[in-house]
Amino acid sequence: MAGTHSGKTKQEQELHGKLGNTIKDDYYLIPGTGLLADKEEKLVVPRNRIAEILKMNHDHMLSGHLGSAKTLARIRRQYVWPGMGADVKQYVKIV
């Protein structure tokens, strides 16, 4: 990219500066979206959006109200966040 020595946009450089050294190379910004993805191109879900993802992948009439293992497998195909397994188990248990 023009104006950057590392090939990253200014927004990516700022984000990488905010992330710890242990994870900064494992994620990237999807250009033009402001969304964060991991190396497997799964979207990184912020804490304030997890309930929406859980509802969409468990409660929606097309999702089939699957158990925790199948709901977790479905969510893992597209998304990632710390503590995902525990969040899914807890959500399925209470819904």
Has residue 70 got a pLDDT over 90?
Answer: yes
DSSP three-state, residue 44: strand
With a pLDDT cut of 90, the percent of the chain lying above it is: 51
- Top pLDDT among 40 and 95 is at 40
- Pairwise CA distance, residues 32 & 17, whole Å: 19
Q: Do β-strands 35-38 and 27-30 pair in parallel, antiparallel, or remain unpaired?
A: antiparallel
Indicate the residue type of 86. Answer: A
Domain residue spans of the chain: 10-39, 45-94
Q: Which amino acid, residue 8? A: K
- Tell me which of 84 and 13 has the higher pLDDT: 84
How high is the pLDDT of residue 67? 92
pTM for the predicted model, two decimal places: 0.70
Is residue 27's pLDDT more than 70?
Answer: yes
Distance in Å from the first CA to the final CA of the chain: 47
Which residues are registered as beta bridge partners of 9?
none
